[in-house]
Amino acid sequence: MMHVGSLIREQDQVLARGIAEEMGMPLGAARFIEVPFAAATFEYFGGLIPQIHGETLPMDIPGAPPEYLTYTLRQPIGVCGLITPWNFPLLLPSWKIAAALAAGCTVILKPAPESPLTALRLAEILQEAGIPPGIVTVLPGNDMVGAALVRHPSVAKISFTGDTSTGQAILEGAAPGLKRVSLELGGKSPVVVCQDFNVDQAVSQCLFGIFFNAGQVCQATSRIYVHESLYEPFLDQFVERTRQLRVGMATDPAIDVGPVVLADRLAMMDAVVQESIQAGARVLVGGHSLPGPGYWYEPTVVADADRQMTVMQQELFGPIAAVQPFATEHDVLTEMNASRYGLAASVLTHDVRRALRMARDIEAGTVWVNTVQVLSPTAPFGGVKASGMGKELGMEGLQEYLTTKTVIVDLNEDPMTYY
């Protein structure tokens, strides 16, 4: 596991270029965010292996002799089917594979059909590092392949990252076999800019929160709530800096925003923006697909959006930020929680009491305070509501691939008589 991490780091430039060419993540983001995070994930879970252990438990049966040894074993759940999306073709397979291997499971990885090459290169790295043959299998293919994994009786667990509707279908497919399922699904993550926060810093955080990887991030902070006292100054700076973002080929080190991966999303995003305008919102910058080979969408800011608009409710998976003013903490909490999703959220404030109150009351699996998009192999990640069930990363992510067996041993010289 440690060797896997080292090999990923040694090959960072090659892996980053492959990611940029395959799915369009800007080269710098691929090299300095996705690749090192993948390496750190294998190293972290490798370090957790010695911490997998059961417990010795007290046991007292009323009316029975006292000598019993009771202990638990933590054992691998079995063959795991791992289904990953295209937006992080190295990192998300690494999250799942590293945890499953640390638990002692064998895995079959089905990468997204849009980005299988990076997953196949990861499999080669695993071989180079000494992972035995047959422990990790990469099985590229379409949705039929994923459905076959979900139904197969020899697969004990499914771990899926992707959209909510597919997650629901996986639950239905896994139900007859009562397979264990963990789902990291969609998001419509909010960020709130409170009245005491610096506008320049808030703009920088929000730019990264929504436009990183062209907004093709499940926890992208696509709903931005700004206190009414800062609303206009924030909008002025946010729009100006959005205009300055450079859109282009992912392999160009100078660009900020790469392409959109799926062609059908361009028409969908255009329709959502036009619907917002008709409902009374303002498009302050962007709002159109861009010409040329490939699929490009302008970084877009929609102001004065309200809760009912599609731009505030639907996961667009593209570079579109929806901004809305708020007056009170109660008001903004109501707005933030008025979503079917609950993956992540961010609170930008220097008021410690406010930050802790809001972190407690926001319905999300991860809450950032004074930052966005910060994840670590050590910190469990996963959502609530329509954003999924179960966790990736951290000790909780490892436990998703383990099952607990209880062993009870009668040590009494004269065992209890039942009849």
pLDDT tens sequence across 302-338: 999 999 999 999 999 999 999 999 999 999 999 999 9
pLDDT at position 305: 93
Residues 6 or more apart whose Cβ sits within 8 Å of residue 349: 192, 194, 196, 197, 355, 358, 369, 370
Over pLDDT 70: what percentage of the chain? 99
- Catalytic annotation present for 184: yes
Residue 76 CA to residue 401 CA, distance in Å, equals: 6
pLDDT at position 416: 72
pLDDT at 257 over 80: yes
pLDDT at position 292: 79
pLDDT bracket for residue 419 (50, 70, 90) = confident
Residue with the larger pLDDT of the pair 292 and 126:
126
Determine how many CB atoms are found less than 10 A away from the CB of residue 133: 7
Query: Active-site residue among 22, 43, 184, 298?
Result: 184
CATH of region 190-369:
3.40.309.10
pLDDT at 382 over 90: yes
pLDDT at position 173: 97
> What one-letter code names the amino acid at 288?
H
Strand partners, 384: 342
Q: How confident is the model over 245-253, as a mean pLDDT?
A: 95
Strands 190-193 and 56-57: unpaired
Residues 6 or more apart whose Cβ sits within 8 Å of residue 199: 193, 230, 233, 234, 237
- Catalytic annotation present for 206: no
pLDDT at position 114: 95
Query: Active-site residue among 80, 194, 218, 329?
Result: 218
pLDDT at 66 over 90: no
Residue 360 CA to residue 413 CA, distance in Å, equals: 53
CATH of region 2-185+387-406:
3.40.605.10
Residues 6 or more apart whose Cβ sits within 8 Å of residue 10: none
Domain parsing of the chain, residue ranges: 2-185+387-406, 190-369
DSSP assignment, residue 417?
A: P
pTM of the model: 0.96
Residue 175 CA to residue 272 CA, distance in Å, equals: 35
Per DSSP, the chain holds a count of helices (H) and strands (E) of 15, 20
Task: Yes or no: say if 118 and 90 are a contact pair by the CB < 8 Å rule.
Answer: yes
pLDDT at 60 over 90: no
pLDDT bracket for residue 387 (50, 70, 90) = very high
